Structure 1
């Protein structure tokens, strides 16, 4: 059944039919079924065409109802008159509910924009991750919110905000991280990854798609969830509920979280890129400072009028240069970068984020590095990388 909130503000019949309207062209959207019904009603004279279809239809309903009421009063049909009054009351109630929903959506959209503007001002990745659930609660009217990330096929909770119940939020994060449910085919979030769309759970205690341990621990009765996917790939999920107020979430709540999750994804991506840029700038500044210091040392060095003998590299200089030259003869530049991060203790996911490549690509690089270094695991490969700076070339796999 078509309702009033599905009828957008549309121009008169001439504009929609394309008849002589100066702005009409072949690329204009076709009228929806509700709009076509409105046009037909206007042509039949049942509705007077106006700028606001909802108001025009409502006025037509009131006018026809007054006519029918007058006829029934003249006939003395009190039963039919009472039935008409009941129908009109329900119609008025429906109209008020639709108007309430429209106002709620408008206010919710403004609150989402306000929350996202605050997130865009955050300059650190860890800070924006912690801030997201809090803004979803404080700005958008939910009682609780949590943020999961997708890591190696599992859901790992990163942050939670439960209002004044800080201890409850901390316990929730600790418990959810200990569970870290896998994204199997039965889980609601797996369906969200496939459909790239939000979801609503009205009866969490009996819904087979939810993760039972997390739902039981959180005591949630209903919740909404939306994927975070700034680049088209789902990297996490936002969940929200109204546990403390005792309300059941609805479609508007789902759409609010969906809009917030989309904006948060872009804000998170921007923060990550800015943080990487700052790290690169710091490295460039250090390199420039080092080069400037070396140039100044050369400039200030004393001159000695004699034949210059070939300068033999110091053992320390050879240790710094030789490992790099040796490793580049065996590994590619990208493989060296991966090995360096492996030695620093980074996970595949962290390496992927830092090098801006997929986790699958990182795994392929790791396999090739292990094979070329004749290492059986990551720890052995990392140990090999560290020993390069302190041992002669004979340690190298296959060396003399």
Structure 2
């Protein structure tokens, strides 16, 4: 709010307090932004009209003041509309910036700072995993060290979304929040509240494929003002765009992985034609024979080769499509929690799928199920090769 307009509202309020019952009028310190200024003018107008209705003759000063209230309120309304239009332009610019990201990592690396471009001073982008709220990126205008401190505090003390903190409502209802009096209020993330010294903040859910995958939090610490309903609306729009952008980059990530796996498979076929198997792949030793006790590597290029092999394996007819997806991720060494995160389902649902897989494959545990499935695929591949070579 421009200082000149703020001074005009304060001057008019002081004049009203001299003419009317000052105990029923706001204090000048309440004029902090456009919204509060208009609220003060409404209070002055209501009190003045009440005085006119008392039957006493209105003073010329009071009548003149009513005209000033109306004129100033109209000007503030125009300024508020212009402010909203500029804010929406910032949202459009931020969403366009999100659209430039080509990977999920690149998107998350810029999401927090881009959120501050909406007019906030600080922001936090978090993920939700198995009912845990875990901060991933923090941006603080002017102070990267403070951002790191808040991030470390949030990761060291992840909060459980069990209904005791206000963010649980975002998961349950998929709606944004506006939280005031943070330092005195129960039900907030106390480690982050203490580290950030936030007075008020707004937060919105990041929804991916119909599931709340994370949050965006923001405040106006350096501006020394509380966030307002407009801030909440802007952050809600931004979080919706971020969820759509994340859905897009996840597809791009998967496509890049598939292309990489196809390239590796093509190189393996070339090596096989030339009489060798290159560097080999998971669980296979010299000449492609399965090596007992071969080490399983779950990171780096080797992991990608494993993924490629598992994707290319035929679907076991006794398993559903989702059970095959779970089994393939089990074979790469993923835990139930990580499988749930990758498939965007609950850990309880993963456990149910694992139980069905073990029963259908007649396996006693996860390792036996994976071994049974891969051994069956190896046998099928061997029979296919023998048939093509003329062996019956």
1:125 Cα shift? 1.1
Aligned to 2:120: 142
TM-superposed CA distance for 1:268, in Å, is 1.0
Structure 1 residues 318 and 345: CA distance shift in structure 2, 3 A: closer
User: What SS is found at the alignment partner of 1:122?
Assistant: coil
User: Paired residue for 1:110, among 89, 92, 110?
Assistant: 89
Change (3 A) 1:256 1:290: same
- Pair 1:344 & 2:332 matched: yes
1:361 paired residue number? 349
How far apart, CA to CA, are the structure 2 residues paired with 1:146 and 1:344? Answer: 32
Aligned pairs (5 A) from 1:378-397: 381-382=366-367, 385=370
What corresponds to 1:307 in structure 2?
Answer: none
1:175-214 correspondence to structure 2 within 5 Å:
175-214=153-192
SS in 2 for 1:132: helix
Q: Spell out the pairing of 1:88-167 with structure 2 (5 A cutoff).
A: 88-137=67-116, 139-167=117-145
Deviations 1:349-377 (A, max 9, x none): 532454565544322223344564313xx
Tell whether the 8 Å contact from 2:149 to 2:195 is kept in structure 1 after alignment: no
Distance in 2 between residues matched to 1:195 and 1:355, nearest whole Å: 21
Distance 1:99 1:347, change over 3 A: farther
Counterparts in 2 of 1:334 and 1:200: CA distance versus 1, 3 Å:
closer
CA contact (8 A) 2:133 2:161 kept: yes
8 Å Cα contact 1:230-1:262 kept in structure 2? no
Contact map agreement 2:130 2:346 (CA 8 A) in 1? no
| Corresponding residue pairs, total | 292
Distance 2:72 2:164 in 1: 40
> How far does the alpha carbon of each residue in 1:305-325 deviate from its partner, in whole angstroms, 9 at most, with x for none?
xxxxxxxxx9955538xxx99
Report deviation, 1:257: 0.8
Find the aligned partners of 1:200 and 1:229 in 2 and give their Cα distance.
Answer: 18
Q: Which residue of 1 aligns with 2:47?
A: none
Residue 183 of structure 2: SS of its match in structure 1?
coil
Shift in alpha-carbon separation, 1:386–1:168, aligned structure 2, 3 A: farther
Counterpart Cα distance in 1 of 2:196 and 2:342 = 34
Q: SS of the counterpart of 1:374?
A: coil
Q: Is the 8 A contact 2:127 2:214 kept in 1?
A: yes
Query: 2:364 corresponds to which residue?
Result: 374
Q: Secondary structure at the match of 2:233?
A: helix
2 CA distance for matches of 1:328 and 1:317?
22
Deviation of 1:174 after TM superposition, in Å, equals 1.4
With normalisation by structure 2, the TM-score equals 0.65
Q: Which residue of 1 aligns with 2:216?
A: 238
CA spacing shift, 1:220–1:359, aligned 2, 3 Å: same
2:179·2:201 contact (CA, 8 Å) conserved in 1? yes
1:23-69 deviation per Cα after TM superposition (whole angstroms, max 9, x unaligned): xxxxxxxxxxxxxxxxxxxxxxxxxxxxxxxxxxxxxxxxxxxxxxx
Quote the offset at 1:128 in angstroms: 1.1
Q: Quick check: 1:266 aligned with 2:244?
A: yes
The CA distance in 2 between the partners of 1:338 and 1:296, in whole Å, is: 35
Q: CA deviation at 1:292?
A: 5.5
CA drift at 1:332? 6.6
* CA distance in 2 between partners of 1:370 and 1:178 (Å): 36
1:130–1:159 CA contact under 8 A, matched in 2: yes
SS at match of 2:188: coil
1:87–1:181 Cα change, 3 Å? same
Q: What secondary structure does 2:134 align onto?
A: strand
Deviation at 1:124, TM superposition (A): 1.6
Change (3 A) 1:232 1:387: closer
RMSD, aligned α-carbons? 3.6
Give 3-state SS (helix, strand or coil) of 1:237's partner: strand
> Per the alignment, do residues 244 and 153 of structure 1 end up closer, same or farther by CA in structure 2, a change over 3 Å counting?
same
- Normalising by structure 1, what TM-score? 0.63
